[in-house]
A = this chain, B = another copy of it.
Amino acid sequence: MIRSTQQRKAIYDVLIDSGRPLSVNEIFEQAKNGAPTLGIATVYRNIKALQDEGKLNLVALPGESPRWEVPTEHHHHFLCRTCDRLFEIRNCPTNIGSLLPDGYVLEDHDILLRGQCRDCAKRKSLKSDK
């Protein structure tokens, strides 16, 4: 049976309060505020437990360290190359299975878009304008 501990609450609250997916170390550092004696092993164990319970989703990105987020509906991500922030993209291409050759069975897909977020794109266009 799953117990409600100070550590687990601190870890979960960090993800609830953050508007974006966080890495192990971001969670560790921030959760210390709510659980000062927190050890890194406890963070790993609780992230995994929360994931198994369906309360957190693993966000695996190609070439990036993993992050976790509070589950929402199916979505993808946009990574800004300038500020390194990760954004949620709610749209999803509907016809993705049509890319596959005959005989292949599609079960899931990940899409990561990269480029400049609104803020960084604006900042860059200002620079080149002057």
Q: Using a CB–CB distance below 8 Å, which chain A residues touch chain B?
A: 58, 60-63, 66, 76, 78, 81, 87, 89, 91-93, 95-96, 98-118, 121-122
- Protomer copies: 2
Q: Which residues of B contact A115 (CB under 8 A)?
A: 104-108
* Chain B nearest Cβ from A88, distance in angstroms: 10
Q: Is the CB of B103 within 8 A of A93?
A: no
Provide the residues of chain B in CB contact with A106, threshold 8 Å.
113-115
Q: Which listed residue (B58, B107, B118) contacts A104, Cβ 8 A?
A: B118
- Nearest-CB distance from A67 to chain B (Å)? 11
Most chain B CB atoms below 10 A, which of A63, A66, A99, A108: A99
